[in-house]
Amino acid sequence: MYKCQTLKNGLTIIGEEIPYLKSISLGVWVKAGSIMETKENSGVSHFIEHMLFKGTTNRTSKELAREIDNLGGVINAFTSKECTCFYVKLLDEHIEIGIDVLSDMILNSKFDEKDIAKEKSVILEELKMYEDSPDDLVYDLLLENIYKDHSLGMNILGDRYTLKNFKRENILDYYNKYYVPNNSIISICGNFKFEDIVKQIEEKFATWESKPADTQVTKPKFNPCIVKKNKDIEQVNLAINLDAIPMINDREVYALSVVNNVFGGSISSRLFQKIREEKGLAYSIYSSQTLYQNCGELGIFASTSTENIEEVYKLILEEIELIRKEYISPQEIHESKEQLKGSYMLDLESTSSRMMSNGKSLLMRNKVDDEQDIIDYINQVEYDDVVEIIKKVFNTENLGVCIVGKDVENINL
């Protein structure tokens, strides 16, 4: 069971005590992601994530890394469309050092001009790396087109133009706007006493000043499209997105999870069994759901040879039409629910997974469901819920498609 407390400056702490473990995972979550950006500062959320590792008024970049590394711990961060997270995982006896390091990064980072110039080059290399990864490229291109003219479609890394033109004052303006305690959550999971950890966090983050933070964004319009990009690679990579649902309605979210599991979310799914096992047309084929605060996508991904791509695409559309017309059977629903519950329970054995789940849920949904809540949501999915979510999501008239590969302009989809 988790505990929650909000400090005087608006910083909320959520903790889950697991006394039989020896580790603690702690994350500082900030509601600042690429969806809050504009075309002029695209990539700034991710850039700030990098800059917080470049040194503070108390520690050099090397000292930040070494202080956690020398304890056998992990320190890292990631930026998503809607939030950024900085986290550590340490033995319980060292968590005070982890809190000190993270608070130092959040409150005392220097944003040195020389480091900014250097990090521009680093992230440009990161951008090239992702462009060389066809499965990343195909997804980014698809989002860029289905959410055309909306920040949700912009690359989290930004682009070459915005990266080169970042100025220190612009970076700090964004940082000061969103990196405030009332727009942040600290999530902690593992072997600790909640009251003790709150005192330690309050001591380190007490000087973090609260300010108004407007994180509201408009709902993007889903634009059906077919996008093709030539790239000299051995396989054609295919990404398809169906317009789905936001993360706010639990009944719909778990109904979609049940359906996705049957459709393409596991190795026993329809897509995997039909296209890989029965037809032998692809090695990688799966579906997944990505849900945001006010919209969502059901994504389908496949990589295959040029001569097979048209058939793979046709078979995927057939499976979409089949599930739309005939839905899924009560037996499939039962098996999917059992699979989801098993997968969820296994995830609970990781302090990192629990910390991530609690932090993101409280930040993005303003609530956290405990273990029994999740199991109940899955158990409560009924046949009628499945039918309704299939009618809402599985619509081939609202389809975004992208293919990346050699000579793809000649492929007919």
The structure tokens listed for 301 are 């991904």
CA distance linking residue 103 with residue 99, whole number of Å: 6
Instruction: Reply yes or no on whether the pLDDT at 410 is more than 90.
Output: no
Residues 6 or more apart in contact with residue 241 via CB below 8 angstroms: 142, 143, 146, 297, 298, 299, 300, 399, 400, 401
Instruction: Reply yes or no on whether the pLDDT at 246 is more than 90.
Output: yes
The pLDDT tens digits of the residues spanning 311-321 come to 999 999 999 99
φ, ψ of residue 198 to 5 degrees: the values are -60, -40
Provide the strand spans (E) within 18-169.
23-30, 74-79, 84-91
pLDDT on residue 1: 80
The pLDDT tens digits of the residues spanning 89-120 come to 999 999 999 999 999 999 999 999 999 999 99
Domain boundaries, the chain: 2-205, 225-410
Instruction: Reply yes or no on whether the pLDDT at 354 is more than 90.
Output: yes
CA distance linking residue 294 with residue 281, whole number of Å: 36
**Superfamily per CATH, domain 225-410:** Metalloenzyme, LuxS/M16 peptidase-like (3.30.830.10)
User: In Å, how far from its chain's centre is CA 374?
Assistant: 19
Can you spell out the DSSP letters for 193-210?
Answer: -HHHHHHHHHHHHTT---
Instruction: Please tell me the class of the 2-205 domain.
Output: alpha beta
The pLDDT tens digits of the residues spanning 4-53 come to 999 999 999 999 999 998 999 999 999 999 999 999 999 999 999 999 99
What are residue 14's DSSP bridge partners? 4, 187
φ, ψ of residue 240 to 5 degrees: the values are -125, 135
pLDDT on residue 349: 81
Nearest to 217 by CA among 365, 37, 389, 409: 37
pLDDT on residue 313: 97
CB 339 within 8 A of CB 269: no
Residues designated as active site: 49
